[in-house]
Amino acid sequence: MAQTLPVSPLALPLPPLGVVRGVRLGAVAAGIRYKGRTDLVLAEFAPGTTLAGVFTRTKCPGAPVDWCRAILPGGQARALVVNAGNANVFTGRAGRETCRLTAEAAAQLAGCTPEQVCLASTGVIGEVLPAERITTALPALHDALSDTGWEAAARGIMTTDTFPKAAVRKARIGGVEVVIQGIAKGSGMIAPDMATMLSFIATDAALPAPVLQALLSAGVRTTFNCITVDSDTSTSDMVLLFGTGAAANPPVAETVDALSAPELADFRTALNAVLHDLALMVIRDGEGATKMMSITVTGAVSDESAWRVGMAIGNSPLVKTAIAGEDANWGRIVMAVGKCGEPADRDTLSVSIGGVCIASDGTVREGYDETPVVAHMKGQDIDIAVDLGLGQGSARTWSCDLTHGYIDINGSYRS
């Protein structure tokens, strides 16, 4: 049974969603785990749609992750099937068989090969996912697909999410306007190390699979890979990007340097904005969250080191509970910096909250007045800045507070 959870106080409304030419999608209640809500999503893509993807780095991935990794080198996609409520993880041969049967059923409907069908699952680990519930529901769902089914799809992939997540941008390639639109789900078990729980993005741009892959991999590094709710990496994480080519923009060579080509500059910016929007919505829907943290780290020996420091701050239970309690306990930030194993020097470190420098040069700032910081802590968006004073490395990460709501949700997740 799906949990009835109050909508996150940090929730954002869905933006106005349009059509991505070459994409039809929809959702249905297949009774996989939840009662009285949609839990199965199908998307169909135009022939010639190119594919890119990034996946969890966990050593215990779900069967759908293995399936998508195996078909990714083909660079083509005609369909996507996603279910919520059952992650199809640690299900052995039965899990692999469910993937095969699902892909074959969707391929028959889409008129393609099973190797052009992407699969994703999210939910409880260790329970067999009955293929017949999916394959029985797919034909009627396929008949009802619509190019305006984006909101239904965003809701259909939710588990403990309290609001649907979507983002959209427009860009130009060679003077031709293209659309980028995506959905995501994620609320807990979020420390992606690649993506988030699940995210699916489509564009009508005509771009080769290697170009899409380079753009997606780079974009994920500074968005989905910079968020954390609870330091736990899911077994099911994936982000998939589909390019239908329906916009018929001027051809882009497979060999182009996607990260520097001037003809892709506008598209890169727009794609990164979509990824950024979706990633931050996941943090805003962190299980039990009441506040969002933006953590900026500068002065590190490298960008990678700065990222590790930022994630250590965002993952610290003591920092997170201090934020929840609206306690301007900057000593916990210093603790998190010092414990993470990255180069740091107590005597060059400075810490700011809400734009107010609290400590520097190894001690509290002379004349420090806590009043504006206390006021900042009462807000929903908390800004933390750390300057290590060692080099030019920088990074920005995002996290949320830790409240009793997190325990309530996860203590009864399987009930």
**Is residue 415 marked as binding?**
yes
- DSSP class of residue 251 equals P
Q: Which helix (H) or strand (E) holds 132?
A: helix 131-143
292-326 in b/e burial notation, b at 16+ Cβ within 10 A? bbbbbbbbbebbebbbbbbbbbbbbeebbebbbeb
DSSP output for 85-111: EE---S-HHHHHHHHHHHHHHHHHHHT
**Is residue 287 marked as binding?**
yes
Q: For residue 247, what are its two tokens?
A: 């916009």
**Is residue 296 marked as binding?**
no
Q: For residue 253, what are its two tokens?
A: 């060579």
- Which residues are paired to 240 by β-bridges? 53, 200
> Is 196 a residue of the active site?
yes
- CB neighbours of 127 closer than 8 A, spacing ≥ 6? 86, 91
Task: Name the active-site residue from 98, 135, 196, 298.
Answer: 196
**Is residue 255 marked as binding?**
no
- Classify residue 336 by burial, with Cβ atoms within 10 Å: 0-12, 13-18, 19+: buried
Interatomic CA distance for residues 280 and 357, integer angstroms: 25
Q: Which amino acid is at 153?
A: A
Catalytic residues: 196
Tell me the binding residues. 159, 185, 196, 287, 410, 415
Tell me the binding residues for substrate. 159, 185, 196, 287, 410, 415
